Structure 1
Amino acid sequence: LLLVFVSFYYVIFSPRQTRAIYRYFRHHRHNPVIQSLINTYRNYFVFGQTIIDKVAITAGLEHKYTYEFDGIDHIRQLAKDNSAGILISAHVGNFEVSQYFMGEFDKQIHLVTTDEEQRAIKSYLSSIMATPKTGFIVVKDDLSHVFAINQVIEKKEMICFTGDRFVDGSKTLTAELLGQPARFPAGPFLISSRLSTPVLFVYVMRERNRHYHLYARKAVFNHRDAQALLQAFTQSIEQILAKYPLQWFNYYDFWKA
C-alpha cells in the first residue's frame, strides 16, 4: 500500500524523470495521452516492486518467489564447455537477481558498471549477503577495467555489461531503438565483438505473483563487428519491451542523451 503513495510522490516530485518516461510511452510506444499518463505511474510502481524484490531475494527470501527459464540451455552450454561467457543486459526488468537463477552453475558473474548510484546499491546488497555471488568491475579512466575483464575471461567466468548507458565524454555507437536513433556505450560492444567468447543477451523480467522470468538469447554477429552486435542487442530489447512495456527503467530522455 505504501508503494502506491511513494509512486505518486515520484510522479509529482521527479518532473524530469516523469517527463522522460511519459515520452517513452507517448512517442516511442505510441500510447494515447491518458494511457501514457497511467503507464508512467505504473512504471514507477513496478520499479518500486523490483527494488523491494531485490532486497528480499538478496536477504534470503528467494524461496518466496518462483522462477522460469527461457533459453537457459545457452548458459548450460557455457558450463558444459567450461567456457567464459559475456552477458549483455539493459536497464529493463531486474537483472541484479539473475544470480539466483544460476545456482546450478559454478561460475561467478562480474558486473561491469559505471553508474555510481547503482554501484552503491549493488555494494549494499552485496554486503548483506552471506556469500556474495556477484563481483564488480568499475570502469575507470586508466582503462584498468580492461585488464580486469581479461582476467575474468581467463578464469572462464562470466562478464556482464549493461549495454544501454554511457558516461558523458565516452565513445558511443548509434543504433535505432523503437524507431528512433539512440546512442549506446561503445565499450561493451567493441570488447565483446573482439573476444572469442560466446555473447548472450540476458534479461530477468518481473511477472505477477512474485514470479520472475529469465530470458537468455544467443547473440549472432560477425567477429569484430561491434555495430552488428549492437543492432542485435537493440532488436532483443525491442522484443522484451513488446512483452513488458512497463519495465523500461531509464529515467532520462534516452533518445536525446
Structure 2
Amino acid sequence: MNRWDGKTRGTLAGYKIFLFFINFLGIGFAYQLLRVVTFYYYLFAAKPRKVLLDFYRNTLNFSEAKARKLTRQNFYIFGQTLVDRAAFLLGKDKQFSHTFENENYLVDIRNAGKGGILLSAHLGNWETAGNLLKGRITPAINIVMLDAEVQNIKKFMDLSTGGSRFKVIAIKNDLSHIISIRNALNNNEFVAIHADRYLDGAKFIEFDFLGKIARFPYGPFVIASKFDAPVTFVFATKNGKYSYHLSATLPITTKMKPEEIGRLYVAELERKIGQYPEQWFNYFNFFEQ
C-alpha cells in the first residue's frame, strides 16, 4: 500500500551538508542550494511527484501547468522548512518574524490552567511553530509523535544543534504515551498532535475531505475527546522568505465525541489547504483505501 510508513526521509550526509552551510554561509545560501537540490528531486523523485500532481490536478482541480508549478514550489518550500528548523536549533532565528492569528486563544487556554491539546497537520512547519510558541505563551510544548527517524540522523542533529526546544512524547505500543499526555496536561502544558496520518494497522476514521473519502487516525480525536482540556487546531505556514503565519481556532471547551472534533478539524484543514496548497507535505496517496 502506498501509504506513510512513519519514517523521515533523508541521509546523514545531507543533514551534515546543510548544517555546515547554515552555520558558516547563512540561511540564504542554504536556500540557494535548495533550488538545485529540490529541482533535481522534482525531476527524479517520481513517486512523490506523481502523488502531488494527482492531488493538485484531481483533488484541488488545478490546471496541468498550475499543478506542475505547485509541485515544484512544494518541494522547494518543504526544503526551506527543514533549513528553518535547523536554523532555529542552531540559534540563528533572529532573521525570522511571524504573525499570530488568534494568539489570545492560546493565552486563554494557558490561563484556564488545564493545559491544552493542539491538533495540527503536515501542512506548513509544525516544529518551527513549537519553537516560536515555547517561552512566549507556555514554558513547555509537548509533541506527540512516532520516534521513527533514522537513529544516526537524529543523533547527529541532537549533537550538532542541542536538540529540539520542546519535549517529545513518543507513541508506544504499551500506551505509556497516554500517561505522559495526562501528566503534561496536569502541569498546564500544551500537547501538540498531528491528526492527518495513520500507519497501516492503526485505527482510523473516515471523513469527507476535499470532496473525497479519506482516512484519518482515530487516536488524536479520542485523546482530544477524553481529556478535560481545551482543544484547538493550530497551523504554522510560511508566508515569506523569513516569516511565518501562525493561527489557532476557537478552543473547544465542551465535551464532544471524537467524530465531532474530527469533522471540525477536517473543515479547518480544508480551509488551510485552500490558502496554502503548496504547503501540503503528504507525499503518499491520501485517498487510497
TM-score (norm 2): 0.82
Deviation digits for residues 201-221 of structure 1, max 9, x if unmatched?
Answer: 000110123111100112548
Hey, what's the Cα distance between the residues in 1 that align with 2:121 and 2:265?
9
Counterpart contact for 1:221–1:228, Cα < 8 Å: no
State yes or no: 1:110 paired with 2:137: no
- Quote the residue 2:165 is aligned against: 133
Counterpart contact for 1:109–1:158, Cα < 8 Å: yes
Counterpart contact for 1:126–1:134, Cα < 8 Å: no
Deviation at 1:224, TM superposition (A): 4.1
The residue correspondences of 1:34-53 to structure 2 (distance < 5 A) are 34-53=65-84
Deviation at 1:18, TM superposition (A): 1.0
Hey, what's the Cα distance between the residues in 1 that align with 2:153 and 2:267?
29
**Counterpart selection for 1:15 from 30, 46, 57:** 46
Counterpart contact for 2:86–2:161, Cα < 8 Å: no
SS in 1 for 2:51: helix
State yes or no: 1:242 paired with 2:242: no
Counterpart contact for 1:190–1:224, Cα < 8 Å: no
Hey, what's the Cα distance between the residues in 2 that align with 1:130 and 1:254?
34
**Counterpart selection for 1:33 from 43, 64, 76:** 64
Name structure 1 gaps, 5 residues minimum: none
**Counterpart selection for 2:126 from 95, 100, 118:** 95
**Counterpart selection for 1:200 from 229, 232, 235:** 232
State yes or no: 1:142 paired with 2:207: no
- Quote the residue 2:5 is aligned against: none
SS in 1 for 2:122: coil
Counterpart contact for 2:85–2:127, Cα < 8 Å: yes
Residues 131 and 120 of structure 1: is their aligned pair in 2 closer, same or farther, counting only changes over 3 Å? Answer: closer
The residue correspondences of 1:55-66 to structure 2 (distance < 5 A) are 55-66=86-97
**Counterpart selection for 1:185 from 204, 209, 217:** 217
**Counterpart selection for 1:162 from 181, 188, 194:** 194
Counterpart contact for 1:220–1:232, Cα < 8 Å: no
Deviation digits for residues 229-252 of structure 1, max 9, x if unmatched?
Answer: 111111111111111110000010
Hey, what's the Cα distance between the residues in 1 that align with 2:249 and 2:204?
23
Residues 228 and 70 of structure 1: is their aligned pair in 2 closer, same or farther, counting only changes over 3 Å? Answer: same
The residue correspondences of 1:79-94 to structure 2 (distance < 5 A) are 79-94=110-125
Q: How many residues align?
A: 257
**Taking every aligned residue pair, what percent have the same amino acid on both sides?**
29
Name structure 2 gaps, 5 residues minimum: 1-31
State yes or no: 1:176 paired with 2:208: yes
TM-score (norm 1): 0.92
Deviates more, 1:15-24 or 1:220-229: 220-229
Counterpart contact for 1:170–1:185, Cα < 8 Å: yes
Residues 132 and 31 of structure 1: is their aligned pair in 2 closer, same or farther, counting only changes over 3 Å? Answer: closer
Deviation at 1:51, TM superposition (A): 1.0
Residues 70 and 135 of structure 1: is their aligned pair in 2 closer, same or farther, counting only changes over 3 Å? Answer: same
SS in 2 for 1:218: coil
Deviation at 1:101, TM superposition (A): 2.6
- Quote the residue 2:255 is aligned against: 223
Counterpart contact for 1:207–1:213, Cα < 8 Å: yes
Deviation at 1:79, TM superposition (A): 2.3
Residues 81 and 111 of structure 1: is their aligned pair in 2 closer, same or farther, counting only changes over 3 Å? Answer: same
